[in-house]
Amino acid sequence: MTDTPVALVTGSSSGIGEAVVRRLSAAGMRVVVNSARSADAGRKLAESLPDALYVQADISAESDARRLVAAAVEHFGQLDVLVNNAGTTRRIPHSDLDAVTPEIWREILDVNLIGTWQTTVAAVPHLAKSKNAAVVNISSVAGSRPAGSSIPYAVSKAAIEHLTRLLAGVLGPGIRVNAVAPGLIETPWTKDFTDIAQYVRETTPLRRVGLPEDVAEAVLAMAGAGYTTGTVQLVDGGAHLI
């Protein structure tokens, strides 16, 4: 084990995850890039960084989650930071109850909640060996407000926030667990959210849509916040004030 931390970021071949990987790498960490698909993009990202590994794995499958963590530890010899960023959603109006099938519920919860759980459980024995271990979960403002791309997505993020608090209680003092909750962030996923983007620009105190780099800065801060655990850090331009 060396003094150079190793960070695993799930769902990190593009968008917020990519920005997080780049920021942690720039801060001097060795990083593991992951995606369930987009393997070419993931490999290219890893190859562009000083000390990075790409692992293709679908965290909704328990065997893949365990294989992902094992590959990270086998390659780097340690694991210090886990960023649970991988997620999925469907854009479904909250009032359209009939459109939300049990299959959609399972699809979203399998990745956003169960995948986060499986990856974290697999990582805990290795994180426990670190001198400054941290788990950072990516939530959303939809986890605490009646908002979000769909009801299942919002519920999954509410569950992530409570999971963060519960894990912080049982994994301390050796492992800190926090969450970052972005508002609307400009990513490939949200390119069609033009109506919401306009509302954000007109009403929030900072008058702009967030960038992936805004979230990455908050993740880096939470990864290094040695006396902080069980918290949810909003990154929403002040949207929670309106």
- What residues act catalytically? 153
In DSSP terms, 84 is beta-bridged to: 137
Other residues' Cβ atoms within 10 Å of the Cβ of residue 91: 12
User: Helical H runs in 110-150?
Assistant: 116-127
Tokens of 92: 């479904």
Pairing of strands 6-9, 133-138: unpaired
For helices 39-47 and 15-26, angle between their N-to-C axes, nearest 10 degrees: 20
Nearest to 89 by CA among 145, 150, 34: 150
Residue with tokens 């919860």: 109
Nearest to 8 by CA among 72, 62, 88: 72
SS3 139: coil
Contacts of residue 133, defined as CB under 8 A and 6 or more positions apart, other chains included, come to: 80, 81, 127, 174, 175, 176
DSSP string, 176-197: EEEEEEE-SB-SGGGTT-HHHH
